[in-house]
Amino acid sequence: MKMKKFALKGLIILAAVVTFCMFFSGTIRTLTTPKIRFAQVRMGKMEQETELTGKVVFPEEEEFRISLPEGVSLTLTRVHAAAGDRVKKGATLATARVTDREKNLAELRKELTSTRKELRTLEKKAGEIRLTRGEENWKQAWERENEAQTREQEARISLQAAAAEAGIAWPAESLPEDADEELTGLQEAWQQAQQELAATGAELARLERYAIPEESWNVLQQQEEAEKKLAQLEQQMTDLEVTAKIRQKITAPRAAYVTEVLVEKGSVVDGDTVILKLTAEGKDPVIRVDLSEVKQEVSPGTTLNFDSDGWEKPSSKVIDVGLTAEGRPYADVEISQEVTYALGNVASLMKKEIKGRLVTRSREATCLVPAAAVRGSGENRFVYIGESESSAFGGNGMRARKMEVRVLAENGGTVSLAEDLTYQRVLYMEDRALSDGCAVMEYLKEGSK
């Protein structure tokens, strides 16, 4: 009986010891096993932000000149426009006055008086000349032949210049078969002028017996030249006075941005002077950013976020991409109303460095995981995957297994992987170091007991 009691007491003590050991070992295991969380893994298109610096550029611009009569120039009294200004059609770009107007007028009046005096003398002499009908016909034929000579000369020079530009030696018996329409058209015009010259020359030769005597002919020619000179002087005076009235203000020919001002107060300009440059019609300025250091693809529609000193966070879209003359890739970003409201108008943007962040999105979806879950460096990158296992006592556990991965891109807290891990339990946020094959436990979720 005593033996039975002793054996029963021993069994009870043994059970208590086993229970205590199991409890204590579980507690130790719980205390020593790394606690982890499961990373949120998803398939999606990777977005990346790259810091960039840009500047205002004008993709297309046109030179602005003003039409002035030959020999007339203007002196600018004030320049109103500045680079970056947005001007409306008719806006005043500069004010001006005719250069040496009074001096030029005085010289023209003096020359006009002298020419009129000369013409009156010639008219008196010409009035004493009586031309026969044959002499009148010869005079008209001479004038037609003279005009035909001028037209033939102009047509020939135009053809020679175009042939030289095309690399064709002149004179040439014929044009190459692949000559363009412009060149063949100039040749046809010259041939037509040659025919007219030959016809007028033949007519003049036929009337040569009616030629006007040299002394009379000289008087008539001098009279004609004096009449032409008088008309030119009167036209110059008219041009001078009209220009003084209508060119007091130099105005914009259309709505545009001023890209560059090439004159200043006191500048003297004529019809060949480029006063300033304007954007081409329909071609507004853009913010051009250098893409030399950007690895991801950038295309029209890509978003660029700009940094500002205020609370505004302006953004705009890429409208064009290309290469500079040096072969450097760039993107042109629209200067939207949102940008000018937050950063200033085009004129102020031209004076500073524009900083922004380029937001790009991959074309295809990839596996996206938190950056904290991807370990290693360089090409040696890996993650830990949680694998379930069952214990001999019927319990379930989990071990960390190392898995190598290939990183496609990184952006702050997100990494794009080539492998699809959406069906795996990716481990991260461990409370102590993990190793391949080590047991791990998930953090108790909030509210669990």
pLDDT at 52: 87
Query: What pLDDT does 25 receive?
Result: 46
pTM of the model: 0.60
Q: How many residues does the chain have?
A: 449
Tokens of 316: 């705009």
Q: Which pLDDT score, from 0 to 100, does residue 171 have?
A: 66
Phi, psi (degrees; rounded to nearest 5) at 383: -130, 165
Name the strand (E) or helix (H) holding 395.
none
Task: Give me the residues of the chain with pLDDT under 50, please.
Answer: 20-26, 447-449
At 35 the pLDDT is: 92
What are the tens digits of pLDDT across the range 309-368? 777 788 899 999 999 889 999 999 999 999 988 888 999 999 888 888 877 777 789 999
Query: pLDDT digit string (tens) for 152-178?
Result: 999 999 998 888 888 887 766 677 777
User: CB within 8 A of 95, min separation 6: which ones?
Assistant: 76, 77, 78, 80, 248, 249, 250
Predicted local distance difference test score (pLDDT) of residue 14? 59
Alpha helices, H only, 169-324: 181-206, 214-246
Q: Please, what are the domains in the chain?
A: 49-58+281-361 (2.40.30), 63-96+248-279 (2.40.50.100), 101-245 (1.20.1500)
428 C-beta neighbours (distance < 10 Å), count: 19
Question: How many CB atoms lie under 10 A from the CB of residue 135?
Answer: 18
SS3 266: coil
Return the structure tokens found at 99.
């250069």
Per-residue pLDDT, 357: 85
Instruction: Look at residue 49 in the predicted model and tell me its pLDDT.
Output: 75
3-class DSSP state for residue 19?
Answer: helix
Q: List CB contacts of 30: < 8 A, sequence separation 6 or more.
A: 441
Q: Which of 277, 263, 142, 159 is nearest to 214 (CA)?
A: 142
pLDDT of residue 448: 46
